[in-house]
Amino acid sequence: MTPSNFSQSAHEFSLSRVLIVVVWICAAWFSVLALHLTPAVFAILITYGATTRLAHRLKAWLPALRHVEAIALLLVLSAIALGLGASLEYLLESGSANVGVPAVLERLSKVLDQLRLALPAALSAHVPASIDGVRAAAAAWLQNHASQLQTWGGHTLRGVGYVLAGTVIGALLSIQLNRSTGKVSSKHLPRLLRLRFDELIESFTHIVFAQFKISAINTLATAIFLLGVLPTLGTPIPLAGTLVSITFVAGMIPIVGNLVSNTIIVAIALSQSLTMAILAFIWLVAIHKVEYFLNAHIIGSSIRSKAWELLLAMLVMEALFGLAGLVTAPVLYAQIKHGLYSQGWLD
């Protein structure tokens, strides 16, 4: 075999390995998305990734500590339980007149009044006159879409079950895999699967920490507006501290979370005045546009990708699989890029 033929064969072999890696990653994720198992997979990755990272930190801080993995897992599960417990407590206490659902309904009533006064007569006629009108419209809608709601409810319960199952699987993996870290299997398939799983965890943790930074930046900008700009203008917004907290929590959900928090902020601002609502809308739209590209930049830098690459991946995945594809796109693309770097196809 001549040197040129040998070089060509080596190149073709390397290309085939790269294609196998990319196809394997895409097939795995597409199967997850097609089977609607995204909540379970993300629960596995969050539980395992958080436990592993916390265990590494504990080992660095307390080298003499025993059963580090079990302690880290207990702390992670305790944090999850505390979060769920705090949410449940808030829901149970929402019967107070000043918090929860009653407060939201009171604000919504003011929003309806503002809309009826601000809109032209032809449009204001379609706005309910009171909360009772909203309830009546909601009851009619529920009656006409009962079967559809049953389907949505079934999907929601199934999703909760998937999350719980994923949390249990992630907990078991964090114990079993961390115990076998120093053991190298003599078989090729177990070693390959462990390598791909480690790459997935690394990519996922990069994405999560990048999203945390993005949420923190977005929350800071929102806090400046709600707690600084509006009070300075003499028009403070009600529940400003609560809205800032909602912005941070919702911001951990890429793109969609900010849309939800922004909608709540604009609705409450509208209960004060139309001018405040317009000002809040302009400010939040500007933040959201900057955050959208900041999202691609921060996450892209963590996985060594350009902003346009990640935006394109998110666009394609959203077109193929909807919201689940949009959320999964950064992790999928990060894992593919990691595989290409490991094969030497990217510098």
* DSSP code at position 236: P
Two structure tokens written together for 252: 């951990």
Looking up tokens 């922004």, which residue turns up? 262
Beta carbons within 8 Å of 299's beta carbon, 6+ residues apart: 206, 207, 210, 211, 214, 305, 310, 330, 334
Closest among 345, 342, 341, 333 to 309, alpha carbons compared:
333
Predicted local distance difference test score (pLDDT) of residue 97: 46
Cα separations in angstroms, 153 against 34, 148, 156, 157, 322: 19, 9, 5, 6, 19
Are the C-beta atoms of 326 and 255 separated by less than 8 Å?
yes
- Alpha carbons 326 and 218: distance in angstroms, whole number: 19
Are the C-beta atoms of 247 and 261 separated by less than 8 Å?
yes
- Alpha carbons 144 and 322: distance in angstroms, whole number: 25
What would the pLDDT profile of 101-145 be if each residue is shown by its tens digit? Answer: 455 555 656 666 666 666 555 555 555 555 555 555 555 555 555
SS3 state of residue 70: helix
Q: Which helix (H) or strand (E) holds 329?
A: helix 323-342
Q: Kindly state the average pLDDT of the residues 143-161.
A: 61
What would the pLDDT profile of 26-64 be if each residue is shown by its tens digit? Answer: 898 999 999 988 889 988 888 888 888 888 888 888 888
Looking up tokens 């707690």, which residue turns up? 227
Two structure tokens written together for 198: 């480690």
Cα separations in angstroms, 173 against 39, 70, 150, 197, 334: 17, 12, 34, 11, 22
Q: Sign of dihedral through CA atoms 52, 314, 258, 91?
A: negative
Residue 37, φ and ψ in degrees, nearest 5: -100, 15
What would the pLDDT profile of 201-235 be if each residue is shown by its tens digit? Answer: 887 887 777 778 888 888 898 889 888 888 888 88
